Amino acid sequence: MTHVEQMIARSEALAPWMTAIRRSIHRFPETGWLEMRTSALIASELDALGYEVITGRAACAEAARMGVPGEKETRAHLARALAHGCEEAYLTQEMREGFTGVVGVLRCGEGPVLALRFDIDALGMQEAADAAHRPAREGFASENPGVMHACGHDAHAAIGLGVAKMLSEMKDALHGTLKLLFQPGEEGARGAKAMVAAGHLDDVDVFIGSHVAPTQSLDDGDVTPGTYGSLATTKYDVTFTGLAAHAGGYPEKGKNALLAAASAALALHAIPRHSAGESRVNVGTLHAGTGRNVIPDRAVLQLEVRGETTQINAFMAEAAEAACRGAAAMYGCEVTLARMGEAEGQHSDEALLARIAQIVRRDLPHLCVSSVENARNWGSEDISVMMNRVQAHGGQATYMRVMTPMAGAQHTVRFDLDESVLPRSAQVFCAAALDILKGGAA
C-alpha cells in the first residue's frame, strides 16, 4: 500500500473521530482571543502526536494582536471554558489571559518548510435551537449564549487535527518541516497578523490554507485550488466624546456626540469610490445616548472599509479617518479611532494551485477539481497577511476551497455543513504535504 493509499484509508477510518472533534468544538464555541478550550484541546492532541507545541505569546505576538476583548470579558469566558471541561493541563497562564492559538511543528530532517493554516474562532451569534436545526436536534448546538460556529471554523480545526494525526503517522515519508497554524481571531481579521509578527511564516517555502465553501452538489466539484481578489480590509471602532447637557434647559452647553457620529456615518458612505478597482465602506453599528432629554456625550460607531488591493483599501481607510475627524470637529467633539482588524489583498500562486490540482487528479481521483484558475472572492480574509509574508520572501502560497453542501448560509443562525467534508479536506491537505515534503524542491 502506497503512502497515499494509506492516507486515504486512514482518513476514512478517522472520519468519526474528526466528526466528534468538530461537534465538541461546535458545542462550545469561542470568539477571537477567547478560544481557550479550543486551544487547549488542540495543544493536547498535538502534544500526544509528538509535535513541538507553541502557544501563548510565542504563538501570537502581543503587540500585533487586534480587537482584544477586555479583562472582564476574558475572565468571564475563562470560567465558562473551565466549566465546559477545558483540558486544564494544557490551559497555560497565557491562554487564560487571552493569548490563544496554537502552532504545531513536526521536524522531518532536511527539506522545504510547509505551513498549513486552520482558523478556529466562532461568531457572536445566537444559534437556532429548534428541532429543524440538526445541531440542536442531535445535541451539539452551542451552549455558549450568543456565540456559535456559523462559518465552519469548527470543521477547520477538526480537519487540522486529522491532518496532524495522519501526517505524524507517516513521518517517515516526509522530508522537511511541517508547521500547522491553528489561528485565533480570523473573524474581524484580527489573528493572522499576530502569528506573522511572531515569525512563524518567515522561513516557510510553501503555504496552504483552506475554507469550506457551499455547493448544491458535490458533482459540481470538490476542490477549488486557488482564490484571487480577496478584498483588503480595515475594521474600526470609533468613539466620539462630547459634553452632556440638559436638552431643554441648557442645549447650548452640550456637545452632541450622537450627531457627530451620525454625520460621520453619512460622510463615510459618501466617500468617492476608487477608479482602479472595487471598494467598499459600511457602518455596521452606532450606539449613543442615555435618555431623550440628555444631549449625548458619547457615541461608538463600528465600521469597515475594503479595497480590491491593499492600496485601494489604504485610500478608503485614509478617507474614513478624515470623515470621522471632520464630523467630530463640526460638533466640537473628541474622536478616537481604534483599528480592530486588518487584512491585505491577496492572490494564490498560479504554479502552486496548478500543482495542487495535479496532485488531486493523480492521487485523489475520487475527488473532482472544479477549477485550476484563481476564483474571484469578494470577501476578506486575514490569511492574506500570511500569504503575502510567504510570497514576499520568494515562497508560494494558495488559499483553496473545499466544497460541501450546507444547511443555512454561512454567518446565519441555521448554518451547518455536510461532515463528509472533514475526511475529504484532510485528504487534500495530506496529499499536498506528501508531495511537497517528499524530498524534492519546494
What amino acid is encoded at 322 in this protein? A
For residue 378, what pLDDT band results from cuts at 50, 70 and 90? confident
- Give the chain's domain count: 2
**Boundaries of domain holding 131:** 3-230+345-436
Same domain flag for 334 and 371: no
In a domain, 373, yes or no: yes
Q: Using the 3D structure, point to which of 343, 375, 399 is the last residue of a domain.
A: 343
Same domain flag for 39 and 133: yes
Same domain flag for 155 and 33: yes
Same domain flag for 332 and 367: no
Same domain flag for 301 and 380: no
Mean pLDDT within 417-428: 96
Same domain flag for 351 and 236: no
Same domain flag for 73 and 180: yes
In a domain, 272, yes or no: yes
Query: What does the pLDDT look like over 99-110, one tens digit per residue?
Result: 999 999 999 999
Mean pLDDT within 346-364: 93
Same domain flag for 264 and 354: no
Cα 151 to Cα 225: distance, rounded to the nearest angstrom: 19
Q: Using the 3D structure, point to which of 343, 372, 387 is the last residue of a domain.
A: 343
CB atoms within 10 A of CB 47: 15
Q: Using the 3D structure, point to which of 302, 318, 343 is the last residue of a domain.
A: 343
In three-state secondary structure terms, 29 is coil
C-beta of residue 30 within 8 angstroms of C-beta of residue 144: yes
- Contacting residues for 422 by C-beta, under 8 A, at least 6 apart: 15, 18, 19, 22, 155, 158, 159, 162
User: Looking at the predicted structure, is the pLDDT value of residue 339 above 90?
Assistant: yes
In a domain, 442, yes or no: no
What amino acid is encoded at 218 in this protein? L
Which three three-digit cell numbers place residue 177? 518541516
Apex 112 CA angle, 174 and 181, nearest 5: 85
pTM, to two decimals: 0.93
Same domain flag for 243 and 222: no
Same domain flag for 355 and 290: no
96-100, 278-282, 327-331, 438-442: which range is least confident on average?
A: 438-442
Same domain flag for 358 and 305: no
Q: Please report, for the domain that includes residue 249, its CATH number.
A: 3.30.70.360
User: Looking at the predicted structure, is the pLDDT value of residue 440 above 50?
Assistant: no
Same domain flag for 223 and 88: yes
In a domain, 441, yes or no: no
- Positive/negative CA dihedral, 199, 200, 205, 207: negative
